[in-house]
Structure 1
Amino acid sequence: MTAMPCSSVYGLVCGFLLILLNLSPVLTLSLRLRDDIRVDSKPVSLCEETPGVESHSGYIRLQSGVLKEYGIDSAQDYPVNIFFWYFQNRKKRTDSPLTVYFMGGPGASSLMSLFRENGPCRVNSDSNSTSNNRFSWNEYSDILYIDQPVQTGFSYDFAEPGVLNADDDLVLDSNSREAPAGLASGSRRGFFSSQNPRNTVNSTQAVARSTWFFLQVWMQKFGKRESSNNKINFWTSSYGGHFVPKLIQYTLAQNERHSQGKLDQEQFIPLTIGVLGMTNACIDGPTQLPYYPEMALKNNYSVPLTDQAGYLKAIHNFKKSDGCLAKIQACRNASIAAGHNLSVASNVDDVCRDANQYCGKHVASVATGRSYFDIAYPENLLANPLSETYLGYLNQKHVQEALGVPVNFSANAPVVAQAFSLTGDNVKGGSLEALASIMDAGVPVTMVYGDRDFACNWLGGEAVSHAIPFSHSHVFSSAGITDISLPGYPVGAQVRQAGNLSFIRVYSASHNVGLQQPQLAQTIFQRAITGLDIASGTVPASGYKTEHMYKHWEHSGESPPFPLEGACYTWNLGLCSDRLRMLYLEGKALVQDYFVVEDDKGRCVPNPVRPCARREGWRGKELSKTVVGVTVERQRMVLGDLRSIVMLLTLFSACVGCVACLHTFLFT
């Protein structure tokens, strides 16, 4: 069946039918030739330091109505500018696959993972320069980071002037009743997307469809990548566990339609799928929600996040007849009954929004006092100061000019999160079934979970791995648990794997696994995309099954020590103590390179810019060398780093060979 062109008179009716029938309209110009569909890019010399390795940033640009015209999104009456950053593989191989990385959120920028986990560089303490990351994933693959949906990260619809205050509340000039005045402490002026929740997508399915289209545009119009390997791997984290399985499912369906001649072959190309990797992914509410109270009471780090009464109450709220599970089922039943009936869609959204809010408040929020993303630390403690410096870096003028971006950077987009929240998307379901579908189609899936995360914890992740209704689920569930071996590296993770599914628990890692375990994360990635077993990297994964080294997951650990008061980075005041936050906002703190370095009494505050002399006020054990990288290393203010002094003395002694000279150097 072939769709007829839509006239202006019958456009609305025809467009509606195209969506229902999942057909593409006949278009006079191919996607490659259309001026209202562009890929603008520029070479970038930031971050990647390997000589000769190419890097490009830019935008996939669609004028208003393009997605509507193609039957992808009937509500797209605004321009779409999707930011991307591409890195060639460091070995410059011309047979490298492409890995596309998406962050979750919804509304979280993929640049968060680029700079904190798996990209070519880390941002230094000055928030103005970078250092090489030898555990970058582009060691083994070309990699493309995409900020989606629109209004996420550097992606935008319209660029509008405004002010972002210390509480991350954004006021655009067009929405302000007052003329722009002097900035309050902690506020920053810049350009931002419109913040209109109608100017973004609001569902998992919409993300899947629009992202497929973005990839079609990029693959056909970017033109800077040279590789004989057309395979595309997908990696995601957190909320990406909802939409990336559906993106791949939709892509495979479109490939099938293309092969059958039901998709315009002048417009679109088949996209060859490699592997799907997910890190601490939230995938299915009914499966994962019961494990929030489990993690709160029975985690392996002896960190009680609730008491027995709180645990039992949360379990009751999940199971009772009018509780969380029942509300989710009502949501899903309503979604099935509504089908494509747009007139009742808002009622479905109401039911699903109610379910999502109830489950979030009465089941998932059982834990208190610790970070949602790393239970080892209090919720307002910046344990690793350098994990946030990318925020200041990406808002430096010279960085934005080099990337070619017209808007300021924000790691998270509340407007996107709001759009998804209003539809209750989180509990509507379908991602488990999508995983089963793509796995039965031959797509390998790797699930990686840091075991200190609470937001999408490993207990719920393991439950999902057993709940995926694919044809070989019984084989996976009977597989054993074994250590992941890495030469010269202590055992840091365990894996269960059978065929094209692997589940990995990474020790002492948070929601962002690569932040604490970068080498291990890189190794898992490399073995996954090359089709090897995760445990050793020596056996083809096809037909492989882990043996029973352990009957149960073996690891239990201790929480690392942490200071009573951590660093305060002024681009993320939510991780500052109340005291330092107020001192900064009142203008009473000394700030250097966006870090508070002294309080109002001239006392040193933990920071990586001007480290303090002594380790006072630490909870737990005294810092050891193994945890210095995860906390603030306090050094001597006057003499500098003690280790540096020892190295200097040794060098001086070797060169001069004179103890008297050393004595003179130190004490005269």
Structure 2
Amino acid sequence: MRVLGLLALAGLAAAGGLFEKKQPEGSTTRIFKRNGATVTIFEHAETGSTLEFTSNPGLCEENKQVKQFSGYLSVGANMNMWFWFFEARKDPEKAPLAAWFNGGPGCSSMIGLFQEHGPCSWNNGEAMDKPSNNPYSWNDYANMLYIDQPIGVGFSTGSSTVDSTTGAAKLIWNLIQAFYAKFPEYTSREFAIWTESYGGHYGPGFAKYILDQNKAIASGKINATKINFSALGINNAWVNPYDAYKGMIDFAANNSHKPLISSTTAGRYTQLLEQSCAPALKKCWADSTDASCRSAMNTCKIGIESPISMAGDFDVYDVRKGRRGKWPPQTYEKWLQQPAVQTMIGAKQKYNECPRQIQARFQSTGDDSRNFLGALEEVVNSGAQVLVWAGDSDWICNWMGNFYTANDVKYPGQAEFKSRALQPYKVNGKEKGSFKTVKNLAFLRVYNAGHTVPAYQPEIALQAFVQTMKKEPLSST
């Protein structure tokens, strides 16, 4: 979720044979019991990184033949990044690898795992100790890696001063390098990034950093493992702040669910956007100083985001609901806080879903106001398959703003993409959304879905995920 608003301003081996393979020279593996849980620690000599994890057959993924592991990867001095990995339910030896990042900035990816597209959930009101199986889990197709970042988010532990998307990107690259060092069988697989909300910054920013590092590897400037980057998916995303603020105004006045403000009020906000917010954003983009970007953030949020968000009784993540109508349920969080569960999964601290201190760091640099459209364009022009999609009942990162951004992307198919009208997107013959696709860029509006699209419409989310992972144009079924 994107929470940086004015209110904020106010066993891999033990279970599945990984270490049956010959280990790199100098590397060591230790397997032992801790409070009844089997813990594996792998220290990689070349990178100096450490992997510590437990295997949890049947804990969330009910099929005990599907391997799952959770624990920590060291990505820097006293920086231990939490991950939870699920093998694909089908052909895991051949399936691609996808990493999921929730937004915030500073929100845990356990949100995506347990509330959106992981193997189990409590979305139908299940008892805390009995989550239900998710037949639309994304590991039905891909090997899934859920990552808590920056350090301090979720279960991640240690010290870190990360205060921007650019700063976070380096540590994510370090994590993937460390992951490959321990799991070399994935180095040849296609790798994709999926994210949402503030992930409109994270996704393009992380992907661009990976592409830049691949170029450095190819030219001999650095010695590292190339990441076979293949796809990017960002839903209800905050990419270009100007498009996002314009979308907030336009959606508030004219959406398919209910008007939040009058057309006259929308006109006043549009005038403020053009006369105050847009110039401040352009100054931020031009000089890229923290001071300019903080100023733009304050100008636009205080002038546009905050007053619209308080304009009526609606949930900013799903306007169909009242301000107190939060959904999905937070049962998963209570489950994760249980000491017994934390022992089983190898967690070393209490779970912290969206720590405010991380948000404050990103606020201090005005990262929210920086424009990641250029990074998104680089990703599209690299040939990676890209999906920009959004649930149409979310206001804070709504489909209109995402539609403007998708049309803004400069690539060989832009003229055709901009001129093409949205067409019905069907799942098993039923219209679930509308879309357009040209070459390797697609846009999808998902009907009757809030901010966390897969929680609301899991079937269409899985279909769009699989088609994009296969590097296919979106198409109805």
Query: TM bucket by the smaller chain?
Result: 0.7 to 0.9
SS of corresponding position for 1:126:
coil
Matched, 1:446 2:387: yes
SS of corresponding position for 1:492:
strand
SS of corresponding position for 1:263:
coil
Distance 1:500 1:56 in 2: 33
- How many matched pairs? 431
Structure 2 residue aligned with 1:252:
211
**Which letter maps to 1:38?**
T
**Which letter maps to 2:383?**
G
Distance 2:416 2:263 in 1: 36
Instruction: Report 1:563-578 matches (<5 A).
Output: none
Structure 1 residue aligned with 2:449:
509
Matched, 1:305 2:277: no
Matched, 1:145 2:89: no
Structure 2 residue aligned with 1:325:
278
Indicate the structure whose relative CO is greater, using CA pairs within 8 Å and at least 6 residues apart.
2
Q: CA deviation at 1:82?
A: 0.3
Distance 2:54 2:327 in 1: 36
Q: CA deviation at 1:476?
A: 1.4
Structure 2 residue aligned with 1:206:
167
CA contact (8 A) 2:438 2:473 kept: no
Q: CA deviation at 1:127?
A: 1.9
Distance 2:294 2:451 in 1: 25
Distance 2:231 2:316 in 1: 29
Q: CA deviation at 1:34?
A: 5.3
**Which letter maps to 2:467?**
R
Structure 2 residue aligned with 1:409:
351
Matched, 1:41 2:63: no
Instruction: Report 1:34-113 matches (<5 A).
Output: 36-45=48-57, 46-62=59-75, 64=77, 79-113=78-112
**Which letter maps to 1:141?**
A
Distance 1:51 1:395 in 2: 23
Deviations 1:86-115 (A, max 9, x none): 000012431110011111110011110111
**Greater percentage in strand:** 2
CA contact (8 A) 1:95 1:227 kept: no
Distance 1:383 1:63 in 2: 36
SS of corresponding position for 1:290:
helix
Instruction: Report 1:411-430 matches (<5 A).
Output: 411-429=353-371
Distance 2:368 2:403 in 1: 19
Structure 2 residue aligned with 1:133:
134
Distance 2:100 2:365 in 1: 25
Structure 1 residue aligned with 2:316:
372
SS of corresponding position for 1:233:
strand
CA contact (8 A) 1:151 1:200 kept: no
SS of corresponding position for 1:100:
strand
SS of corresponding position for 2:384:
coil
Q: CA deviation at 1:152?
A: 0.8
Distance 1:270 1:99 in 2: 16
Matched, 1:286 2:233: no
SS of corresponding position for 1:319:
helix
- 355, 360, 375: which is aligned to 2:296? 355
Matched, 1:469 2:392: no
Pairwise CA RMSD: 1.9
Deviations 1:418-447 (A, max 9, x none): 100011011122x11111112111111011
**Which letter maps to 2:139?**
N
Q: CA deviation at 1:38?
A: 0.8
Q: Which runs of 5 or more structure 1 residues have no equivalent in the other structure? A: 1-28, 65-78, 159-198, 336-347, 538-668
CA contact (8 A) 2:427 2:459 kept: no
Q: CA deviation at 1:501?
A: 0.5
Structure 2 residue aligned with 1:457:
398
Structure 2 residue aligned with 1:490:
430
CA contact (8 A) 1:97 1:229 kept: no
**Which letter maps to 1:48?**
E
Structure-2 change in CA distance of 1:466 and 1:62 (3 Å) = closer
Distance 1:486 1:332 in 2: 40
Q: TM-score, normalised by structure 1?
A: 0.62
Q: CA deviation at 1:35?
A: 7.9
What is the aligned-residue identity percentage?
Answer: 29
Instruction: Report 1:189-228 matches (<5 A).
Output: 199-222=160-183, 226=185
Structure 1 residue aligned with 2:31:
none
Deviations 1:48-81 (A, max 9, x none): 01131100001012453xxxxxxxxxxxxxx111
Q: Which runs of 5 or more structure 2 residues have no equivalent in the other structure? A: 1-25, 28-42
CA contact (8 A) 2:199 2:237 kept: yes
SS of corresponding position for 1:253:
helix
- 317, 334, 337: which is aligned to 1:392? 334
Distance 1:473 1:254 in 2: 27
Distance 1:228 1:90 in 2: 20
Structure-2 change in CA distance of 1:383 and 1:144 (3 Å) = closer
Structure-2 change in CA distance of 1:312 and 1:478 (3 Å) = closer
Structure 1 residue aligned with 2:35:
none
Larger radius of gyration: 1
Distance 2:50 2:243 in 1: 41
Q: CA deviation at 1:317?
A: 1.3
SS of corresponding position for 2:222:
coil
Structure 1 residue aligned with 2:465:
525
Query: Post-superposition, which runs of at least 4 consecutive aligned residues in structure 1 deviate over 6 A?
Result: none
